A and B are shown apart, each in its own frame.
Chain A
């Protein structure tokens, strides 16, 4: 029997290989990753090397990349922040979609085209590519800027608008036998309500239960299950998958699992989004472009130019600054993946001929290629111009102190720090603990501090101090070592449970505090008071004992592996201690030698 690699593995090799080859080159020459993926797609697709044929199913699968991206964006956006964006979303977004659509139709009417066909063309033109726009913005760090926020708001509205637009499409061709299905609308609304309510009340207990298993891969599995599940549910009632994922993300934005979910979904999102761009690249009908280059390129460039002018105008109407308006207009200038969906549906309904549909799809694909090039030109043109620095709100405020562990120990440390307004970032691995302190109004993040990416997300790079207060000794020491090596500027304070722990930290040159030692010392001091020593004398003895113990700890560090030496050292130390406390004991016995110099 002949051995054959499963085709899914072969396809995987092709996708991964082409991405690994094309993307770094594209980024290096300043074109961004998107164009790299798109070009890789063109090269391996049916019109290039023809390594892959079934573009359609890959595109469907890869759409989960866009879904996950929206989920991650939702995670960064608490409901309150979303509410603040209502004017740009519905005002700017609504006007942009409606006016673009009508204007394209008007232009078509000037050329004596069928109004229905031109309305559908307009619908597609009004839509931008969420994937390309957001990837471009975040690669350039523009997403939190006003122009980026406006672009994001409009993209969100477009996601919402797909639903009524697809409904309108069925109204345009009543003879096609498709009716407006009110049941479907009701089910859609019902599902959104279910996601909002369920997300608020069900999701957290379930996440806590899963996190309690302590198995990372199960948490990852659940995170993926959640995103894909919500997406498929939305699709089943005809709503946008990305919108559902976005909603789920927003609902979890203020939960303690946010960071962990972000870290777990991020790599999948990156790969699938790359696959999505590759699939778009593969769907570019290069043959058609070669046959009718002027028509395809002319239409694509014309529409992109038209969109830039319109978008810039809209942004100015909404009082955006010039630079912000330009960024807004350029990033949204392409036609997007929704245009594919709308045009394909319209072709099925015979609003377009198949030729018209494939021409339009080629135009959409070419327009998507233009964005990275336009952004490159934009950055070249602005490189030498001075742009006034502006302060922007960051999604995440990184703090000076990170406290790892929110148990009995970490709580005291963070409560005191909170008391002097140096609120630390607290990270805890036990979900029950987070839930417990949450009831008292304190906030901790769920995460495993031993993981470098969690440390990174917690802001270790900009932190001044890391307090390690977790139970697991090996994990503590490993984390301390890692931070010491990779972030030498960060000071570390570790909680040690006993002498053995302390030795480990001493060898690393890291300060640690023995947790039991200090409370035991307090008990001893109280015991002395009960035995009749004065409060200050008891304190003095306890303090002298502490000094003595810390001294012999340092001495013993060097000989701790030699049992014999350790025993004789211990005997000597006991003698030293009794000499040290000699005066205090004599004083207790009534011999006031120490005070003889004073008139007591």
Chain B
């Protein structure tokens, strides 16, 4: 037996956002490597919506058809590129993804699906540390996404990270791409990354920080 039939796979939807795909090194390589795998649907937002306006019903239909939602993007100002934020704002609508609209329709379309981020960042792991250049860990910075998944009753799982991009040579990229393909195969077989529940982690105290600075 060489290949599992499509029915045995989980269905993976990659929502991909990169405003300058043409000049991208890592994200393009990652996309190319997985886009044709059976069970994977790669959906490029900047390619589909150059005008930044989103066709909500067709996006929701894509989401309903998947088991695992991947948001793949470079880290822009500690978050996702603007069009992906726009996508989240428009597609994860009230009464569909969460809450209840005023006709009484419950938002549970995404309930129980997995939510995984695939993120590239220029800085190394060291700069995303308490006391490091960026002051916060990635896990902390990505909390808005974790909470988004939580509000939609989705399972937020450990992201696939490519860090320290500036020091990654061609061989490094190749290794990363191989790792991604392997990771994706595991995902398709149902071997999912561990769940993340960072709200159980010690809470950063904003008030304390503030007073410390005033002193």
Residues of A near any B CB (own CB < 8 A): 539-540, 543-544, 547, 593, 596-598
- Does B51 touch A at the CB level, under 8 Å? yes
Q: Are B55 and A597 in contact (CB under 8 A)?
A: no
Q: Are B53 and A540 in contact (CB under 8 A)?
A: yes
Residues of B near any A CB (own CB < 8 A): 51, 53, 55, 89, 93-94, 98-99, 101-102
Q: Are B94 and A597 in contact (CB under 8 A)?
A: yes
Q: Are B53 and A539 in contact (CB under 8 A)?
A: yes
**What's the nearest-Cβ distance from chain B to residue A416, in Å?**
15
Q: Contact partner of A593 among B98, B99, B101, CB < 8 A?
A: B101
Q: Are B99 and A547 in contact (CB under 8 A)?
A: no
- 11 cross-chain CB contacts under 8 A: A539-B53, A543-B51, A543-B53, A544-B53, A547-B55, A593-B102, A596-B94, A596-B101, A596-B102, A597-B98, A597-B99
Which partner residue on chain A sits nearest B92 by CB separation? Answer: A597
**What's the nearest-Cβ distance from chain A to residue B4, in Å?**
36
Q: Given A543-B53, A597-B93, A597-B99, 7 more contacts at CB 8 Å?
A: A540-B53, A543-B51, A544-B53, A596-B94, A596-B102, A597-B94, A597-B98
Which partner residue on chain B sits nearest A580 by CB separation? Answer: B57
Which partner residue on chain A sits nearest B99 by CB separation? Answer: A597
Q: Of residues A544, A597, A598, which shows the largest number of chain B Cβ atoms within 10 Å of its Cβ?
A: A597
SS of B interface (majority): loop
Closest 5 CB pairs of A and B: A597-B94, A543-B53, A540-B53, A593-B102, A597-B99
Which partner residue on chain A sits nearest B93 by CB separation? Answer: A597
| Chain B residues whose CB sits within 8 angstroms of the CB of A544 once the complex forms | 53
| Chain A residues whose CB sits within 8 angstroms of the CB of B51 once the complex forms | 543
| Chain A residues whose CB sits within 8 angstroms of the CB of B102 once the complex forms | 593, 596
Q: Of residues B53, B89, B102, which shows the largest number of chain A Cβ atoms within 10 Å of its Cβ?
A: B53
Q: How far is the CA of A394 from the CA of B131 in the complex (A)?
A: 64
For chains A and B in complex, what number of residue pairs have CB atoms within 8 angstroms? 16
| Chain A residues whose CB sits within 8 angstroms of the CB of B89 once the complex forms | 598
**What's the nearest-Cβ distance from chain B to residue A285, in Å?**
72
Q: How far is the CA of A540 from the CA of B89 in the complex (A)?
A: 15
Which partner residue on chain B sits nearest A595 by CB separation? Answer: B94
Q: How far is the CA of A65 from the CA of B98 in the complex (A)?
A: 84
**What's the nearest-Cβ distance from chain A to residue B145, in Å?**
17
Q: How far is the CA of A38 from the CA of B199 in the complex (A)?
A: 96
Q: How far is the CA of A450 from the CA of B89 in the complex (A)?
A: 50
| Chain A residues whose CB sits within 8 angstroms of the CB of B93 once the complex forms | 597
**What's the nearest-Cβ distance from chain B to residue A183, in Å?**
71
| Chain A residues whose CB sits within 8 angstroms of the CB of B94 once the complex forms | 596-597
**What's the nearest-Cβ distance from chain B to residue A585, in Å?**
16
**What's the nearest-Cβ distance from chain A to residue B91, in Å?**
12
Which partner residue on chain A sits nearest B96 by CB separation? Answer: A597
**What's the nearest-Cβ distance from chain B to residue A336, in Å?**
58
Q: How far is the CA of A543 from the CA of B54 in the complex (A)?
A: 9
**What's the nearest-Cβ distance from chain A to residue B146, in Å?**
18
Q: How far is the CA of A596 from the CA of B93 in the complex (A)?
A: 10
Q: How far is the CA of A14 from the CA of B53 in the complex (A)?
A: 72
**What's the nearest-Cβ distance from chain A to residue B156, in Å?**
20
| Chain B residues whose CB sits within 8 angstroms of the CB of A593 once the complex forms | 101-102
| Chain A residues whose CB sits within 8 angstroms of the CB of B99 once the complex forms | 597
**What's the nearest-Cβ distance from chain A to residue B29, in Å?**
26
Q: How far is the CA of A547 from the CA of B54 in the complex (A)?
A: 10
Q: How far is the CA of A544 from the CA of B58 in the complex (A)?
A: 13
| Chain B residues whose CB sits within 8 angstroms of the CB of A598 once the complex forms | 89
Q: How far is the CA of A597 from the CA of B99 in the complex (A)?
A: 8
Q: How far is the CA of A330 from the CA of B27 in the complex (A)?
A: 60
| Chain B residues whose CB sits within 8 angstroms of the CB of A540 once the complex forms | 53
Which partner residue on chain B sits nearest A539 by CB separation? Answer: B53
Q: How far is the CA of A543 from the CA of B56 in the complex (A)?
A: 13
Q: How far is the CA of A543 from the CA of B51 in the complex (A)?
A: 9
Q: How far is the CA of A598 from the CA of B53 in the complex (A)?
A: 19
Q: How far is the CA of A134 from the CA of B89 in the complex (A)?
A: 71
Which partner residue on chain A sits nearest B58 by CB separation? Answer: A547
Q: How far is the CA of A547 from the CA of B98 in the complex (A)?
A: 27
| Chain A residues whose CB sits within 8 angstroms of the CB of B55 once the complex forms | 547
| Chain B residues whose CB sits within 8 angstroms of the CB of A596 once the complex forms | 94, 101-102
| Chain B residues whose CB sits within 8 angstroms of the CB of A597 once the complex forms | 93-94, 98-99
Q: How far is the CA of A597 from the CA of B152 in the complex (A)?
A: 13
**What's the nearest-Cβ distance from chain A to residue B102, in Å?**
6
**What's the nearest-Cβ distance from chain B to residue A548, in Å?**
10
Q: How far is the CA of A261 from the CA of B66 in the complex (A)?
A: 63
**What's the nearest-Cβ distance from chain B to residue A289, in Å?**
71
**What's the nearest-Cβ distance from chain B to residue A36, in Å?**
54
| Chain A residues whose CB sits within 8 angstroms of the CB of B98 once the complex forms | 597
Which partner residue on chain A sits nearest B94 by CB separation? Answer: A597
**What's the nearest-Cβ distance from chain A to residue B63, in Å?**
17
Q: How far is the CA of A593 from the CA of B93 in the complex (A)?
A: 11
Q: How far is the CA of A544 from the CA of B99 in the complex (A)?
A: 26
Q: How far is the CA of A597 from the CA of B148 in the complex (A)?
A: 13
Q: How far is the CA of A351 from the CA of B213 in the complex (A)?
A: 115
**What's the nearest-Cβ distance from chain B to residue A189, in Å?**
61
**What's the nearest-Cβ distance from chain B to residue A452, in Å?**
36
| Chain A residues whose CB sits within 8 angstroms of the CB of B53 once the complex forms | 539-540, 543-544
Q: How far is the CA of A596 from the CA of B95 in the complex (A)?
A: 10
Q: How far is the CA of A282 from the CA of B94 in the complex (A)?
A: 94
**What's the nearest-Cβ distance from chain A to residue B92, in Å?**
9
Which partner residue on chain B sits nearest A598 by CB separation? Answer: B89
Q: How far is the CA of A540 from the CA of B99 in the complex (A)?
A: 25
| Chain B residues whose CB sits within 8 angstroms of the CB of A547 once the complex forms | 55
Q: How far is the CA of A598 from the CA of B151 in the complex (A)?
A: 13
Q: How far is the CA of A540 from the CA of B90 in the complex (A)?
A: 12
Which partner residue on chain A sits nearest B55 by CB separation? Answer: A547
Which partner residue on chain B sits nearest A543 by CB separation? Answer: B53
**What's the nearest-Cβ distance from chain A to residue B83, in Å?**
14
Which partner residue on chain A sits nearest B151 by CB separation? Answer: A597
Q: How far is the CA of A489 from the CA of B13 in the complex (A)?
A: 33
Q: How far is the CA of A598 from the CA of B148 in the complex (A)?
A: 13
Q: How far is the CA of A105 from the CA of B4 in the complex (A)?
A: 92
**What's the nearest-Cβ distance from chain B to residue A262, in Å?**
39
Q: Of residues B55, B94, B102, which shows the largest number of chain A Cβ atoms within 10 Å of its Cβ?
A: B94
Q: How far is the CA of A539 from the CA of B49 in the complex (A)?
A: 14
**What's the nearest-Cβ distance from chain A to residue B59, in Å?**
13
